[in-house]
Amino acid sequence: MKALVTTLAVIEFGVGAVMLAVPSLLWTGLIGSPLSAGVELVIARLAAVALLALALACWLLRNEGGSRAMKGLVGAMLLFNGGAVGVLLYAGPGLGLSGVAFWPAVLYHAAMGAWCLITLLHKPAQISATE
């Protein structure tokens, strides 16, 4: 689990920081259209703060092993990544919004969601009392 949440922490922090600083640049690459209205910029920056919060939670819990808190965090990241795939597929094929980073973002979120799911389903080996 440590490798998963450390990877998530680093990547989501980077994306969140870029989205907070220059949201239109990130969104142009993702959906092929710059953000223009003040409302769009506020919503994008709010999403950036949420990503930074997720990154911080991943970073702070990275050494927790198989604790309930870690499982809860991995479950939350599964929901986030699965939801991101759904929203992006709605935006891309559904609304015709896609930029050069669209399919890499879909694949990234699908891969991270799969990694989260596999991690949650994995049963650690039991150590017997005689060992």
More confident residue, 129 or 98: 98
On the question of pLDDT at 53 being above 70, the answer is yes
- Is residue 130 in a domain? no
**Least confident stretch, 45-49, 65-69, 72-76, 124-128:** 124-128
Whether residue 80 lies inside any domain: the answer is yes
- The reported pLDDT for the residue numbered 89 is 96
pLDDT digits (tens, 9 = 90+) for 70-114: 999 999 999 999 999 999 999 999 999 999 999 999 999 999 999
Which pLDDT score is estimated for 111? 98
In a domain, 128, yes or no: no
pTM: 0.88
Q: Which amino acid is at 45?
A: R
Query: Quick one: DSSP state of residue 113?
Result: H
- Structure confidence at residue 49 (pLDDT): 98
Residue 78, domain member (yes or no): yes
Residue 64 lies in a domain: yes
State the residue range of the domain holding 64.
2-121
Q: φ, ψ for residue 40 (rounded to 5)?
A: -60, -45
pLDDT at 50 over 90: yes
Residue 50 placed within a domain: yes
pLDDT value for 126: 61
Distance CA 90, CA 76 (A): 21
Structural domain count, the chain:
1
Q: HSE (CB half, 13 Å, CA atoms) of 15? A: 21
Going by C-beta distance under 8 Å and a sequence separation of 6 or more, which residues neighbour residue 12?
A: 51, 52, 54, 55, 58
Q: Please give the residue that has the higher pLDDT: either 86 or 126.
A: 86
